[in-house]
Chain A
């Protein structure tokens, strides 16, 4: 298993957001994390990515216990997160947003003397083309539409060549057409990267995911392949029917 999170408990004051949740993701697997509002999906993502520290439980990544790792250490271990709220850097150009993500692990010396600037140029442009943003490379990211900002952010999250990408609601606020394109953009990364995806759009999830985990009130209700989950009566009970 690439990622193994077990017994994750997260308490905020009196609220128990996660109560023994678990998630396992294999290599090159697209894993959907679904559940009703407030079921703890985003909190579980944050505990995995290091944005929150779980109250209890253990997260291992590539057979290493990373529960106490900082976000920086997790990123360096090969994990990458796209936030739910888009957090591209709005005053920088698209080009510089991608370059910023790509050069994250360059040494200080290389950064000060801009030694990787030339070498990374082709990678920046390739990523921008891949995410259909190349013609706006030198505009400020703030000028992009919401959907395009999401793409830019996915591109940035992929820039460090992660082994695991965590996507929190990548299609939030997107049009139908933009959702379809997002699915297309994500397919090619499967060759080198696993994906955990939190998403409300179940059609989108069904289209791109191999396995699903359903959370309900901070616990795992069911986990399995897409068809297993669709056939699961208790999942239909709490979630699929309503959606």
Chain B
């Protein structure tokens, strides 16, 4: 596979060298079609594997897989913010956890568990918090520094953690236990294949929406933002607005993931808004490959899967093994595991009106 890609690239180069317009157009189109194949294949393989998983996994593993899919959704939210827009947020769990707490309170105090109410509510909570924090951190008249944003988000997540621990209404250290299951009419979503497919359906839907967004002209603006924020400001882009918008979208997706997580686990606790979970999502995306949506999903699945397996087999030292593994990947593959399969050109992709170029 990799070799054939290399050959295609070679073809493009020689085609350009020839100079005549016809051969160039041919080489470019063939280069593009063979160059853009890998990503959809990876996406399809992951989707098929995800669809089949509950059929081959034991029940307790399906429950685990459901949790992983929810975390993959959470990873997508961070990938949008960091992988696509280059905003270093160390507080993504704030939106994940606050939505979790929000829906837990809806269920506990108002007996609201209807899926069509709690999921939008959780999404809105994530969106609102991200709008507040993002507005404060990103919407200055002049661009805010990376350090300011990362420390600001980190502080937000840390403060939320401390707040949740000390606030009796939120259950303090213990959080909110025994959340009633999410419901649809009289049906209740409990752990198992139904919940798994619900979550997978939501992930696929959000994934497609994200893919639409990052492949649009807005996605091109994000690519510019990520590569050289100052440059695009000189074109007349309102870079701070773009950042606040994508940060808010990321918060909404994290909120959706957080509300699913709360109902799936049946409880929420202060860690869910804290720094540990915020860092965890950074690792998923780093490990899988930032700047590709599928990389975030793969990263979440592999990090969680490997942790699960290691903790079973190396009861005491597994965090060290995991840590070393992560370090090795980040050192030698800064673009994550996906970069074994995907070239730089395909990762960044093309945004122009493609069809018109190849008569």
| Chain A residues near B (Cβ < 8 Å) | 49-51, 70-72, 75-76, 80-81, 83, 87, 89-93, 95-96, 99-101, 103-106, 108, 110-118, 120-121, 124, 135-140, 156, 159-160
Contact = CB atoms under 8 A, between A and B. Distances in A.
A140 B31 CA distance: 13
Given A72-B238, A105-B236, A113-B216, A118 B357 contact: no
14 contacts: A51-B234, A72-B233, A72-B236, A80-B234, A89-B231, A91-B227, A92-B224, A93-B350, A106-B217, A112-B217, A135-B24, A136-B16, A140-B344, A159-B235
Q: Which of A71, A83, A99, A124 has most chain B Cβ within 10 Å?
A: A71
Given A72-B238, A95-B352, A111 B221 contact: yes
A51 B356 CA distance: 37
Contacts of B241: 108
A104 B241 CA distance: 13
Contact of A114 (B216, B237, B238, B357): B216
* Overall SS of chain A's interface: helix
B142 A70 contact: yes
A95 B16 CA distance: 16
Given A101-B235, A114-B216, A96 B351 contact: yes
Contacts of B24: 135
Contact of B141 (A70, A80, A91, A110): A70
Interface residues of B, number: 41
Contacts of A91: 223, 227, 344-345, 348
A121 B348 contact: no
Contact of A135 (B16, B245, B344): B16
A235 B24 CA distance: 50
B310 interface: no
Contact of B235 (A93, A104, A108): A104
A49 B217 contact: no
B352 A76 contact: no
Interface in B226-281: 227-228, 230-239, 241, 245
Contacts of B28: 137-138
Contact of B213 (A51, A80, A112): A112
A91 B345 CA distance: 7
A215 to B, nearest CB: 23
B223 A89 contact: yes
Contacts of A114: 216-218
Nearest to B356: A121
A233 B222 CA distance: 52
Given A96-B350, A124-B352, A89 B228 contact: yes
B352 A72 contact: no
Interface in B4-53: 12, 16, 19, 21, 24, 28, 31-32
